Chains A and B, each alone.
Chain A
Amino acid sequence: MSLFNVFEISGSALSAQSMRLNAIASNLANAGVVSGSAEEAYRARYPVFSTIYESARAEQPPGGVRVDGVYESKVAPRKEYSPANPMADEEGYIYRSNVNSVEEMANMISASRSYQSSVEAMNTTKQLIMRTLSLGK
């Protein structure tokens, strides 16, 4: 019965979204990190999703979602003149991470909403399967 496939599909969405939440948590935790060079500065990380197709045929229903990879934000780290900072380079500059907290918070809300909608889909499906099993009773 294909109702059971819903669990597989929604389950894959749950794991993808929780990975996204993990990345957001790590970005927010490292938002205040300061380093002595532009290369070492922490860069925000974002997972990229892609669809799992069981076969290449168009009429085949698409499957769940998977995390294709994690890419680093290309925004340049913020350079700041702060000679008193122990992390400062010879010229007195420090490099802050390029994490944008507001963007991360918006991202987090989006991820948690997507997570919720998948949970809801699973719940509805579970109820329907239970009702189908008690058919004729």
Chain B
Amino acid sequence: MQLIDRHLGISPDALNVRSQRFELLSANLANADTPGYKARDIDFAATLARVRQGEGEMRTTHGSHMQAGSGPLHMQVKYRVPAQASLDGNTVETQQEHAAFMDNAIRYQASLNFLDGRIKSIISALKME
């Protein structure tokens, strides 16, 4: 299993962090009209580094301990600095969130493509083609 994990590389972790970023960005978009809401984003590089190092993960020190999934514990969330804050204290800039959402979608697809290639190469190796 570990061999396969190593073969898949960074892509599964990247997808995980990307999907967490999707959650944050969609929350920003959903709260575009909420008074006092502060837009947030994750520091992608820092979060991915923490995921790779296994930081913030529950350690299992006993055989009967259950493995907790890698959740939002890793997330390095930062507040966005607005270019033009609105009077009600809301710092969501919809156009910027849209751009970030699209950017995230494209990068997610890129990671998916890499992962797809790796999985296909495993399958062809197993079939000994």
Is chain B found bound to chain A in the same assembly?
yes
Contact indicator B19/A114 (Cβ below 8 Å): no
CB distance from A66 to the nearest CB of B (A): 9
Query: Which of A3-11, A74-82, A93-101 is the interface stretch?
Result: A3-11
A-side interface mostly: helix
Residues from chain B with Cβ under 8 Å of A10 in the complex: 26, 29-30
Task: Categorize the interface residue count of chain B.
Answer: 35 or more
Contact indicator A9/B20 (Cβ below 8 Å): no
Contact indicator B19/A136 (Cβ below 8 Å): no
Query: Which of A24-32, A35-43, A54-62, A84-92 is the interface stretch?
Result: A54-62
Contact indicator A128/B75 (Cβ below 8 Å): no
Contact indicator A6/B23 (Cβ below 8 Å): yes
Contact indicator B20/A121 (Cβ below 8 Å): no
Contact indicator A124/B31 (Cβ below 8 Å): no
Residues from chain A with Cβ under 8 Å of B23 in the complex: 2-3, 5-6, 9, 61
**A9-25 contacts to B (CB < 8 Å):** 9-10, 12-13, 16-17, 20
Some 30 contacts from A to B, beta carbons below 8 A apart, are A2-B23, A6-B22, A6-B23, A6-B26, A9-B26, A10-B29, A12-B30, A13-B29, A13-B30, A13-B31, A49-B33, A50-B35, A59-B75, A60-B72, A61-B24, A61-B27, A64-B30, A65-B34, A117-B29, A117-B94, A118-B26, A124-B102, A128-B108, A128-B109, A131-B112, A132-B15, A135-B119, A136-B119, A136-B120, A136-B123
Which B residues form the contact surface with A (CB < 8 A)?
15, 19-20, 22-27, 29-35, 37, 40, 72-73, 75, 77, 94, 97-98, 101-102, 105, 108-109, 112, 115-116, 119-120, 123
